[in-house]
Amino acid sequence: MSRKNKLISELKELEIKNFIILMIAGIINAFGVTIFLFPVKLYDSGISGASMLLDQVTSDKLTLSLFLIILNIPIFIFGLRKQGLLFTVYSIFTVAVYSLMSYLIMNVLPIDVSFISPLAGSDLLLCAIFGGVISGIGSGLTIRFGGAIDGIDVLSVVFAKRIGISIGSFVLTFNTILYIICGITIHSWILPLYSIVTYYIGSRTVNFVVDGIDRSKCAMIVTTKADAISDALAENFESSGTIVNAVGGYSKETKEIIYFIVNNFQINKLKKLVQSIDPSAFISLQDVSDIIKKNDK
Q: How long, in residues, is the chain?
A: 297
Residue 297 has pLDDT above 60, yes or no: no
Which residue type is seen at 253?
E
Model pLDDT, residue 214:
58
Closest CA to 239 of 214, 256, 215, 219: 219
Domain ranges for the chain: 3-211, 216-288
How many Cα atoms are found within 13 Å in the side-chain-facing hemisphere of 6?
A: 6
Find residue 216's DSSP bridge partners: 288
pLDDT band at 291 (very low <50, low <70, confident <90, very high): low
Residues 6+ away with beta carbon under 8 Å from 205: 132, 133, 136, 137, 139, 140
When mean pLDDT is compared across 42-46, 69-73, 83-87, 289-293, the lowest value belongs to 289-293
Whole-angstrom Cα Rg for the chain? 24
Q: Tell me: the pLDDT tens digits for 168-221?
A: 889 999 999 999 999 999 999 999 999 999 999 999 999 888 877 556 788 999
Q: Tell me: the pLDDT tens digits for 161-180?
A: 788 887 788 999 999 999 99
In CATH, the number for domain 216-288 is 3.30.70.120
117: DSSP letter: B
pLDDT band at 42 (very low <50, low <70, confident <90, very high): very high
Spatial distance between the Cα atoms of 278 and 166, rounded to a whole number of angstroms? 40
